[in-house]
Amino acid sequence: MPDEPAAELNESPAKAPAENEPNVAPSPADTGAKRRAFKSRLISTIILITLLAVAFTFSQTWIYSFFFAILSIGALIEYFGLFPIRGFRRFRWQTYGVSVAYIIFLFGPVWGFEANWLSELDGLAVALLVTLVVLERLRSPIEGFRTLDEIAATIFGFIYCVLLFAFIPKILMLPLTNEVGESTTHYYLIYLIAVTKLTDMGAYLVGSLIGRDKMVPHVSPGKTWQGFGGAIAFAVAGSFTLYFAIGDQIPIITPIHAGVLAILLALVAVLGDLAESILKRSLEAKDSGALMPGIGGFLDLIDSIIFTAPLFYIYLLIFK
């Protein structure tokens, strides 16, 4: 999700304000940029909730798999598109192919296809991609360190956009039920997305109102410690709200867990937002894509969920 106004992305790191500089009143341009950023965050949140609501309403596995495939492959395409040098997109088709195959086999158990080797699917997918990349690289002359950089960027893109986000369908395939034995996996997914997105909204709202002390200005000049506090506060408030609203459908989440889990998810969500900031600022890109004007692309929609989904999956495995 977009985490800083365009003006900030056009600045070089040397222009980031020093900690002891006096506070300057925001200009009308800054205010307008913040409003646009807030609008983009709100719309992206609504889009994700709407997609989840559609899938939840019909409760069909193919709908979940379709949305996951579109978001993950879309994010991967945007990832390669961020690189201004063609060489870093050299292995994109191999990555797309492995990603499609991975998604098909990931949902294999749901469609009735089961095999022992599916438990090692993640490692097998990485091994296959590395093999295909090396085979492709044999066709061209070696270009020093850049050759390894291209390979590393390819593998990272697959892990970042596909493997990490794949914990969403992994959560959906967990055997989670309520007290009467009804499947409630979808409610846990609602909890995850709601708390993650509330973290992002809290960071932005509080940071815009009272943010002063920069967290990591060399990565994201717009992030402040005050906003970080807002992220945790919104996550905790949202977690307990969901506990009281749908607690009977998510029995694993007790009041104590609601507090602790909210803080953990907030911490990881902020890290996920910063991870995309590192990616975009390193490649001097404003947004990861142009799927929706003012919002960005697929990566901007799922950046924080990419990091919170694995944590939540581990939590459910431990306490289910």
Query: Per the domain annotation, does 223 fall within a domain?
Result: yes
**pLDDT interval class at 114 (50, 70, 90):** confident
Alpha-helical (H) ranges within the chain are: 6-9, 28-58, 61-81, 92-106, 121-137, 145-158, 167-172, 185-210, 225-246, 255-282, 298-302, 305-319
Query: Per the domain annotation, does 162 fall within a domain?
Result: yes
Q: What is the mean pLDDT of residues 124-151?
A: 93
How far is Cα 85 from Cα 150, in angstroms, rounded to an integer? Answer: 10
257-309, pLDDT tens digit by residue? Answer: 999 999 999 999 999 999 988 998 888 876 666 555 555 678 888 889 999 99
Residue 214: CA atoms inside 13 Å, Cβ hemisphere, count?
A: 16
Residue 51 has a pLDDT of 72
Query: Per the domain annotation, does 28 fall within a domain?
Result: no
Query: Per the domain annotation, does 3 fall within a domain?
Result: no
pLDDT at residue 2 greater than cutoff 70? no
Query: Per the domain annotation, does 5 fall within a domain?
Result: no
How far is Cα 145 from Cα 127, in angstroms, rounded to an integer? Answer: 22
Query: Per the domain annotation, does 80 fall within a domain?
Result: yes
Domain residues for 158?
Answer: 34-319
Query: Per the domain annotation, does 213 fall within a domain?
Result: yes
Domain count, the chain: 1
Neighbours of 237 (CB within 10 A): 14
Q: What is the dihedral of CA 52, 58, 61, 63, to 10 degrees?
A: -60
Average pLDDT of the chain?
A: 83
Residue 167 has a pLDDT of 95
Least confident of 76-90, 160-174, 256-270, 279-293: 279-293
Count of residues for the chain? 320
pLDDT at residue 165 greater than cutoff 50? yes
DSSP state of 115: -
Query: Per the domain annotation, does 166 fall within a domain?
Result: yes
pLDDT at residue 20 greater than cutoff 50? no
How far is Cα 155 from Cα 127, in angstroms, rounded to an integer? Answer: 10
Q: What is the mean pLDDT of residues 201-215?
A: 88
